[in-house]
Amino acid sequence: MTQVVERTPQPLSELSTPSVAELRVKIFADGADLAGMLEMARRPYIRGFTTNPTLMRKAGVRDYRAFAHEVLQAITDRPISFEVFADEPVEMERQAREIASWGDHLYVKIPVTDTAGTPMDGLIYRLSHSGVKVNVTAMMTLDQVRQVAAAVDGGAPSYLSVFAGRIADTGRDPLPIMSAAVHLLKDIPTAELLWASPRELLNIFHADRIGCHVITVTNDVLAKLDLVGKPLAAYSLDTVQMFARDAAAAGFTL
């Protein structure tokens, strides 16, 4: 068995000046608000889009099929992922094949397990090897990455979405896991590792430094891209000025 070496990147120096233009990782916008998706589609550095049922519900989407077709008609030049919402493999497969028929730039999100924890490797294999582009979602362990990698090897192009942000929510450092996942996919050219659920803009640079292929980011985090490379002294002054403005606006007295 090949031993996987987990690499922990060195911390970014305070003196380094990051640059969006130098990023190799592909940035996808994560959301289900049509106006927000169209706004992101106007930005050349957004290379694709992801959605999920939770985001769609939060955005007030009522008609899944109608919303998806509206998005696909408006955004035709970049990959978009839509997720099945069934929990039984036969119905998952039916939904996946219908969703896949909506466009060549569409990836179908399949959860790594059903709600009982049963792995969906067999379904993933059938779909991938019949030409369906899959985005396998909600992964958090290297065992899951290994199993899914074996299922998509030799199949259609795929994304393997590892929820690094949720790993971090448990107090674990996701970087060693993500680095090892990059290594596991190095011999599968059709499979790309997707860093999911980032919690801060710095995660984009973390993903880039370990060689992760894709990171999907919500609009609130993407809004901070304008701050990339901003001198820290200037940002410090901006912060002091913000506190002063807010204190004055509140009319505080002592």
The CA-based angle 31-32-38, given to 5 degrees, is 85
Evaluate whether residue 81 is within a structural domain. Answer: yes
Q: Tell me whether residue 101 is in a domain.
A: yes
What pLDDT, in 10s, does the model give residues 67-124? 999 999 999 999 999 999 999 999 999 999 999 999 999 999 999 999 999 999 999 9
The β-bridge partners of 46 are 27
* pLDDT attached to residue 17: 78
In the numeric block, which tokens belong to residue 175? Answer: 């970087």
Give the helix/strand (H/E) hosting 74.
Answer: helix 64-74
Instruction: Please check whether residue 85 lies inside any domain of the structure.
Output: yes
- Count of residues in the chain: 254
Element (H, E) at 202: helix 202-210
DSSP 119-183: B-HHHHHHHHTTT--EEEEEE-SHHHHHHHHHHHTTSS-EEEEE-HHHHHHTT--HHHHHHHHHH
pTM exceeds 0.75 for this model: yes
Phi, psi of 138 (to 5 degrees): 70, 25
Residue 168 within a domain = yes
Q: Within a domain: residue 15?
A: no
Closest CA to 192 of 175, 176, 212: 212
CATH code, 113: 3.20.20.70
The boundaries of the domain holding residue 56 are 21-225
pLDDT confidence of residue 9 = 53
DSSP 102: T
How many whole angstroms separate alpha carbon 162 and alpha carbon 140? 5
Vertex 45: Cα angle to 235 and 201 (nearest 5): 40
> Which of 128, 190, 202, 220 is CA-nearest to residue 164?
202
Q: Please report whether residue 10 resides in a domain.
A: no
Instruction: Quote the CA–CA distance of 191 and 91 in Å, as a whole number.
Output: 25
Asked whether residue 233 is assigned to any structural domain, the reply reads: no
Per-residue confidence (pLDDT) for residue 1, from 0 to 100: 43
pLDDT at 14: 53
Q: How, if at all, do strands 214-218 and 134-139 pair? A: unpaired
Q: Which two tokens stand for residue 214?
A: 């894709």
Q: What residues of the chain score a pLDDT lower than 50?
A: 1-6
Structural domain contains residue 45: yes
**What's the domain count of the chain?**
1
